[in-house]
Structure 1
Amino acid sequence: MSTTTFTAAPAAPVRRLGQARVAYLLLWAFLLVNLVILQVMFAHPSRPVPNTLTGIGRFLGLHLGFVMALQLLLIGRVPFLERRIGMDKLTNWHRWTGFAIFWLVVLHPTFVMLGYAQLDRISFFAEIPNLAKQMPVLLGMIAAVLIGVMAFTSVRMARRRMSYETWHAIHLVVYVVIVLSVIHQIYEGASFANSDVTKAYWWGLWAFAVGSLLTNRLFVPLVRNLRHRLRVVAVVPETDNAVSVYIAGNRLDRLRARPGQFFWWRFPGHNSWWQVNPWSLSAAPDGRTLRLTAKAIGSTSAGLRQLPVGTRVYAEGPYGALTTAGRTRENTLLIAGGIGITPIRALLEDPELTGDVVVLYRARTPADAVLIGELRNLVQARGARLHLLTGRTADGSQPFSPESLRGLVPDIAERDVYLCGPAAMATTVQRSLRALRVPARQRHVEAFRLGV
């Protein structure tokens, strides 16, 4: 382990912001209000339930419609949520909501077909082609199969066997699923035809979810990119497998990007339109240029070295809650693993990051430590401390155990902790932070997880 130590800068008062708490409260209120509405709908159906089995199927179908609309909001990159809750938590919720959709998709038609099979006095399997003759039901069945494919590719074992680009392309099917599901609900859903009030509810819910998606992922990015006209101005290799891309444009200060945030990046003309990657800013935005630094993991990141100067850039953002806006303490601990150093390095340039700052940077070898020269200059300039933690875990190196963290930063429970790195490392660090009784409000995390 290599360690560089400097004297800390003077501490300054910290603003205590409740932005994340407000976002959580609004989300819970949204969930509870809609769940109450669903129960009222189920209690007052538009037509009688033929039997208990179809009643269970209808109940599950009601909740399936709502959860799918909720999923659209989670993948809609709503700035209010992205900048207060953060990509890490939203991606995790998106994943679990996806599995909830999968099970509802399995159980909803199963109970409906069991109920109708009982009414028609035929077998369950004979009822499937019988119902499939109705076009709305067939569309629902197709949507169910597509959801099954997406669920399978989201299983950890399957994800490890495919590139990020392949996984992302498969999950674009979600938009086809939404269209098929809405058509199925309009023509087949009992609750949709219940009354004018229920129709207004479902149309309003879908309009809100789809409108948020189109606004935040299409219209706003289009307007911003037309305004700023982003272009690649320099491509600089940092290590054998890492590269920095400098991007310039018009009036970049109007993006209001903050150190620690990220954008979703596309390079039209160099990559396919659907290839998009979330890369953090690796330097504090100065209003004139933006810089991203990426490690060659997938085909898109590996191809950044061949980006010609002048290449057009299409960016969505800024997103992310890994900023000083959520600070609660005067002193700070910054933890990074691998290429997760990029937002941490940008945070070191944030003038709002005051007080005593300690940086823990985990890399396999010193040669793998991206931007290490810049880090040393920054910590020296601001009087911070840097610990470069190298070695393999398989060789017994456990730099993020509770004992190791307490040894490196004895007052860790009195600091805000910012963490960015691979999911496995983030899980280990968070487990240690809980063991060291670092309050949740002091933990600011962004892990590398797949997201659409």
Structure 2
Amino acid sequence: MNTELLPALAADSRAADAARGTIEARHRRRLFHADLLVTVAWASVAAAVALWLADGGATVFSTLAGSFTALGIVAGLAGMDLVLLMLLLAARIPFINQTVGHDRALDFHRKLGKPSLYLLLAHGVLIAFGYGMAEGLDPVSEAVSLWVLVPDMCLAYISMALFIAVVITSLVAVRRRFPYEFWYAVHLLTYAAVATSLPHQFSVGGLFAEGTWQRWYWLAACFATGAALLHYRVLEPVIATFRHQLTVSRVVTVAPGVVSIEMHGLNLNELAGTGGRFFIWRFLARGLWWHPHPFSLSAEPLQFDAAGRGLLRITVRNLGKGSAQLAGLKPGTKVALEGPYGIFSTAARSRDNVVMIGAGIGITPLRALLESTPFTPGQATVILRGRSEQELYLGDEILDLARRRGATLFHLTGARSGRHADSWLPDHATDAGHRLTDYVPGIADADVYVCGPAAWARNVLMDARAAGVKEDQLHYERFDW
């Protein structure tokens, strides 16, 4: 062996060990943070009920009417706590976003919708029964009496109606019937529902009386939630927009119905390493400024100088009226920016080896991920899927990156027929009995990034699981609403 090579080989080995240690430490930290979030969420519900009991709530159980009332109060406390958790999950808080990902946070947000509504409905019904039994009235008469005679109670009824409207419009079967903008406008009623629910909690029945721990708990919880929403949903995007001062430089046709939008701006060095993560873009042109677009970068920001001045790029496909209009953007159009969001990036890595699988426009985020994610030659495999070579968008750029970085690249083209509906491969590969392991034999010990149409991606993930890939090694993020 050439002894002159030994120091270089030792340095490479130390660098590889350090990179592996960093990946493992980051993965363990993310799992710990996920467990911490679950613990805090459950603890918040328990704390809400425990504080009420500590402030004398248990004494209400002394009679049958009191028991109904007490159960109603418990249901209301738990339901309201879940509503605040829902708002925090939708607030795009970096700690939550970087731990579970944007799409999973919103998935948990949606899953809490029905339980919170059921608890709030139970709160109203049980309270009506409890108060009615104590006053000798039926529940309906008691509900009417509360509406007419009790201050702030009418706001509670309005709040319930708003919660019901939000949950119903959030159902997949319902929201798919309306454009995104209509659903989004209705969803904003959540904030009105929370605002109208608060007054009766502090004014009716002395529940959160002055000097009680409950009062301080709920004041702190409501203030913290409101502050998080204001900061991360409003202030941060405004600050990012002014800080980066993005302006459209040009729009380049990549393929029929597909364009790359290049933008120049300031401090783009702060966005480096975000390959795979997505931003929400608003192009400040007539008819477009109000429409948010969730797109990933298709290339790492290109810096011109140390001040971070440079270019960044997204690649979009005509999938509807909103995205179709982007092909006509004029140079000089200002751009508002939110993000980056999600963990479809190197931050989610848990293994040395990495596999990237993309189809259609989902290939373009993989181009940026391939450019930014760390690996040594031979540790990365890229699989691009399309009906033809023309649908392998940015394929030439990806080929050049794969050659320079030492990644294995597969182009899988061809049609997929109905007889292979559960396959993500082209017909000729499926007929030959090919599976994911034929392209990546060691995939069970790799992180797998999948980006493409939802039904196709589900088939890829199913094949990966069958190959022994664990859930924490699978990275697929939805940008849909």
TM-score, normalising length: structure 2: 0.83
Aligned ranges 1:142-181 → 2 under 5 Å: 142-181=158-197
Do the aligned residues in 1 keep the contact of 2:271 with 2:301 (CA within 8 Å)?
no
Instruction: Work out whether 1:333 is the aligned partner of 2:337.
Output: no
Alignment match, 1:391: 415
Counterpart contact for 2:283–2:333, Cα < 8 Å: yes
- Identify the residue that residue 432 of structure 1 maps to in structure 2: 463
Structure 1 window deviating more from structure 2 (410-419 vs 184-193): it is 184-193
Matched residue type, 1:382: R
Whole-angstrom CA distance in 2 between matches of 1:307 and 1:33:
49
Task: State the match for 2:35 in structure 1.
Answer: 25
- In the alignment, residue 424 of structure 2 is paired with which amino acid? P
Q: Distance in 1 between matches of 2:456 and 2:292?
A: 24
* SS in structure 1 of the partner of residue 356 of structure 2: strand
Instruction: State the Cα distance separating 1:267 from its structure 2 match.
Output: 2.0
Q: Which residue of 2 aligns with 1:36?
A: 46
Extract structure 1 runs of 4+ deviating beyond 6 A.
400-403
Contact 1:271 1:300 in 2 (8 A): no
- Please list every run of 5 or more consecutive structure 1 residues that lacks an aligned counterpart in the other structure: 1-9
Q: How does 1:13-412 map to 2 (within 5 A)?
A: 13=17, 14=20, 15=22, 16=24, 17=26, 18-45=28-55, 49=60, 50-133=65-148, 134-188=150-204, 191-193=207-209, 195-256=211-272, 258-271=274-287, 274-287=290-303, 288-350=310-372, 352-354=374-376, 355-383=378-406, 384-392=408-416, 394-396=418-420, 398-399=423-424, 404-412=435-443
Alignment RMSD (CA, Å): 2.7
Distance across 2 between alignment mates of 1:121 and 1:435: 63
* 2:9 corresponding residue in structure 1: none
Q: Per-residue CA shift, 1:214-265, capped at 9, x if unaligned?
A: 1112222222222221111112232333222112111211345511111111
Whichever structure has more helix as a proportion of its residues is 2
After TM superposition, the structure 1 stretch with the greater mean CA deviation from structure 2, 82-91 or 420-429, is: 420-429
Flag the 1:40–1:324 CA change in 2: closer, same or farther, 3 A: same
Bigger mean CA deviation after superposition, 328-337 or 111-120: 111-120
- Contact map agreement 1:331 1:357 (CA 8 A) in 2: yes
| Aligned match for 2:446, one of 410, 415, 421 | 415
Say if 2:80 and 2:116, in contact at 8 Å, map to a contact too: no
Q: CA deviation at 1:339?
A: 2.2
Cα-to-partner distance string for 1:310-348 (whole Å, 9 max, x where unaligned): 111111111221111332222211122332222211111
* Alignment check: 8 A CA contact 2:444 2:470 kept: yes
Shift of 1:364: 4.7
Q: Which amino acid aligns with 1:436?
A: A
Bigger drift between 52-61 and 329-338 goes to 329-338
Mark the CA change 1:351 to 1:123 in structure 2 (over 3 Å): closer, same or farther: closer
- Asked if the contact 2:424/2:457 (under 8 Å) is kept, the reply is no
**Match of 2:452, SS?**
strand
Distance 2:174 2:379 in 1: 43
Any unmatched runs of 5+ in structure 2? 1-12, 304-309
Q: Is the Cα–Cα contact under 8 Å of residues 281 and 336 in structure 2 kept in the other structure?
A: yes
For residues 162 and 314 of structure 2, the distance between their equivalents in structure 1, rounded to whole angstroms, comes to 34
- Cα deviation, residue 421, structure 1: 2.9
- Find the residue that maps to 2:208 and give its secondary structure: coil
| Deviation for aligned residue 1:281 | 0.9
SS in structure 2 opposite 1:247?
A: strand
1:444 and 2:452 correspond = no
Cα separation, 2, equivalents of 1:279 and 1:375: 18
Letter in 2 for 1:21: L
Counterparts in 2 of 1:340 and 1:193: CA distance versus 1, 3 Å: farther
Instruction: Provide the secondary structure at the position in 2 that maps to 1:112.
Output: helix
Deviations 1:268-314 (A, max 9, x none): 34346543222111112234222122222343222211222111111
Mark the structure with the bigger radius of gyration.
2
CA 1:53/1:358 → structure 2, altered by over 3 Å: closer, same or farther? same
Identity of aligned residues (%): 33
Higher relative contact order (CA 8 A, sep 6+): 1
**Matched letter for residue 86 of structure 1:** G
How much does 1:132 deviate?
2.1
Instruction: Give 3-state SS (helix, strand or coil) of 1:169's partner.
Output: helix
Assess if the C-alpha contact under 8 Å between 1:266 and 1:276 holds in 2.
Answer: yes
